[in-house]
């Protein structure tokens, strides 16, 4: 496997964790949550600060998840208790988090090169297994991690609380009449989602070797692209299928970006590319359906016309 391809796969799988978070809000809760752009950075910032201050990378990563959960919950509270529109609550959190992230880091960029991170630990642990295997240690580690998270998410959405959460996004009035406080399920859902996003940010900072205050910009669109691409390619018939599709979507997105860079696009074009991918992915299914519909109707019309003709001719023969 080429190094570039391996690199895209690794970062794609790390982004998949973030995409699973976006799936929770965007699809399950029907809550377009823009906190993601802020909380992804928060994850990276918290992990980086703790790691350079000598805490264990594991502790730093867990702390990042908790920070994401807290800020996600705040967005949920703004929306449910403050009655602020869902989009606006996310934007407010995202903007506020920009300042908070700078406060957490104390500067715009923290380097982690030479520091012990979760990923260097994995590499060290696997170095005894021979070079051919240790080359793939990181990608194997993140794949196992993302599958584990997927299974936990699937299982959670099957629990009584999980069912109530899904119903909140599907028919809120109905689940209220079955004694669920939909404010709480929304806050819980947005909190968990941002916990996953922050985990993804924390891993990304450790993977790329630095945390940057702007590393989360455009993250929500990458998450949406992953969800939409994944569902379009792999289907979303059940929750299990959809979560797997989202992971696949994130990886494919990453590979497409790598390909685009190779054919000469510059990294600064990537945001535009992502937006275009999402736009196409949103519009294409509708256009394909319309086109199929029209084809079907044309075929039917043609058939009924030829039947009519046959009928008329048959009538002539009889006469």
Partner 1 sequence: MLKLKDINKIFNEGTVDEKIALDDIQLELKKGDFVTIIGSNGAGKSTLMNIISGVLIPDEGTVEIDGQVVNNLKEFQRAPLIGRVFQDPMAGTAPAMTIEENLAMAYSRDKKRGLRKGVTKERRILFKESLESLHLGLEDRLTAKVGLLSGGERQALSLLMATFTKPKVLLLDEHTAALDPSRAALITDLTREIVDRSGLTTLMVTHNMQQAIDLGNRLIMMDKGRIILDVDPEQKKTLTIERLLKEFERIRGEKFASDRAVLG
Name the site residues for partner 1 (rule: CB under 8 A): 156, 158-164, 166-167, 170-171, 173-182
**Nearer to partner 1 (CB atom), residue 182 or residue 200:** 182
Put residue 2 in one of left, alpha, beta given phi > 0 → left and psi -120 to 50 → alpha: beta
Distance of closest approach, residue 82 Cβ to partner 1, in angstroms: 17
Distance of closest approach, residue 230 Cβ to partner 1, in angstroms: 17
Distance of closest approach, residue 237 Cβ to partner 1, in angstroms: 9
* 11: three-class secondary structure by DSSP: helix
Distance of closest approach, residue 12 Cβ to partner 1, in angstroms: 28
**Nearer to partner 1 (CB atom), residue 239 or residue 250:** 239
**Nearer to partner 1 (CB atom), residue 116 or residue 154:** 154
* 313: three-class secondary structure by DSSP: helix
For 250-297, give the secondary structure using H, E and C.
Answer: HHHHHHHHHHHHHCCCCHHHHHHHHHHHHHHHHHHHHHHHHHHHHHHH
**Nearer to partner 1 (CB atom), residue 115 or residue 154:** 154
Buried b (16+ CB within 10 A) or exposed e, 46-73: bbbbbbbeeeebeebbbbbbebbbebbb
What count of residues does the chain have? 319
How many Å apart are CA 255 and CA 1, to the nearest integer? 13
Distance of closest approach, residue 263 Cβ to partner 1, in angstroms: 39
Distance of closest approach, residue 290 Cβ to partner 1, in angstroms: 22
**Nearer to partner 1 (CB atom), residue 115 or residue 236:** 236
Distance of closest approach, residue 301 Cβ to partner 1, in angstroms: 29
**Nearer to partner 1 (CB atom), residue 178 or residue 263:** 178
Nearest one of 190, 207, 214, 184 to 101, comparing CA atoms: 214
**Nearer to partner 1 (CB atom), residue 82 or residue 314:** 82
Distance of closest approach, residue 180 Cβ to partner 1, in angstroms: 6
How many Å apart are CA 156 and CA 142, to the nearest integer? 21
Distance of closest approach, residue 158 Cβ to partner 1, in angstroms: 6
Nearest one of 11, 1, 3 to 252, comparing CA atoms: 11
CB-based contacts of 205: which residues, under 8 Å, 6+ apart?
43, 44, 45, 47, 48, 112, 211, 215
DSSP one-letter code for 136? T
Asked whether 90 and 35 are in contact (CB, 8 A), the reply is: yes
**Nearer to partner 1 (CB atom), residue 159 or residue 304:** 159
User: What angle do helix axes 182-208 and 160-170 make, rounded to 10 degrees?
Assistant: 100
> What is the CA 256 to chain-centroid distance, rounded?
16
Q: Which residues pair with 210 in a beta bridge?
A: 111
**Nearer to partner 1 (CB atom), residue 148 or residue 174:** 174
């Amino acid at each position: 496997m080429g190094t570039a391809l391996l690199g895209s796969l690794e970062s794609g799988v790390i982004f998949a964790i973030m995409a699973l978070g976006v799936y929770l809000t965007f699809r399950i809760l029907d809550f377009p949550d823009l906190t993601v752009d802020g909380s992804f950075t928060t994850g990276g910032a918290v992990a980086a600060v703790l790691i350079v201050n000598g805490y264990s990378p594991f502790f730093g990563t867990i702390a990042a998840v908790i920070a994401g959960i807290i800020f996600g919950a705040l967005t949920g509270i703004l929306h449910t208790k403050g009655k602020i529109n869902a989009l606006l609550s996310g934007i407010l959190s995202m903007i506020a988090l920009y300042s908070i992230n700078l406060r957490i880091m104390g500067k715009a960029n923290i380097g982690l090169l030479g520091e012990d991170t979760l990923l260097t630990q994995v590499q060290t642990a696997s170095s005894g297994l021979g070079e051919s295997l240790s080359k793939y240690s990181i990608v194997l580690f993140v794949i196992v991690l993302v599958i584990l998270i997927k299974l936990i998410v699937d299982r959670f959405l099957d629990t009584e609380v999980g069912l109530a959460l899904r119903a909140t996004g599907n028919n809120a009035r109905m689940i209220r009449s079955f004694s669920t406080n939909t404010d709480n399920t929304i806050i819980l859902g947005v909190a968990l989602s941002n916990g996953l996003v922050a985990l993804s940010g924390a891993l990304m900072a450790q993977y790329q070797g630095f945390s940057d205050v702007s590393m989360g910009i455009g993250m929500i669109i990458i998450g949406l692209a992953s969800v939409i691409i994944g569902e379009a390619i792999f289907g979303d018939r059940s929750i299990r299928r959809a979560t797997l599709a989202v992971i696949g979507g994130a990886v494919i997105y990453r590979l497409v970006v790598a390909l685009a860079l190779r054919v000469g696009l510059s990294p600064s074009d990537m945001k535009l590319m992502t937006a275009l991918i999402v736009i196409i992915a949103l519009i294409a299914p509708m256009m394909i359906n319309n086109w199929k519909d029209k084809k079907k109707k044309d075929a039917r019309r043609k058939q009924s016309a030829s039947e009519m003709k046959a009928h008329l001719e048959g009538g002539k023969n009889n006469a």
